Amino acid sequence: MAAPVPQPPRPPDSENTSDRMRAVARYSGIGAQMLATIGLSTWAGYWLDGHFQNKTPWFTLSLMLLGLFAALYNVIRSVTKEQ
């Protein structure tokens, strides 16, 4: 089986507005997703710490780091994926 050959980039004028809008929407979506991942996991950790009344905010710390990692991982995965 032949490995997929990388296609040469198309000349910019063949790229229509719809494709460009699509790219903008896609990448702005990835950015929003990154923010949402970090925000949501930090909030979950914060809530858990409040719920269990921890002295040291372990949940906030660990979930925030996990959220950061998840956000970065998902960004890298989304941008390396050929659309």
70: CB partners within 8 A, 6+ apart: 37, 41
DSSP state, 56? Answer: S
At its nearest, how many Å lie between another protein and the CB of residue 66? 7
At its nearest, how many Å lie between another protein and the CB of residue 47? 15
Per-residue contact track with another protein, 31 to 50, x per CB under 8 A?
xxx-xxx--xx---------
40: CB partners within 8 A, 6+ apart: 67
By CB under 8 A, name the binding residues for another protein: 1, 3-4, 17-18, 20-22, 24-26, 28-29, 31-33, 35-37, 40-41, 66-67, 69-70, 73-74, 77, 80-83
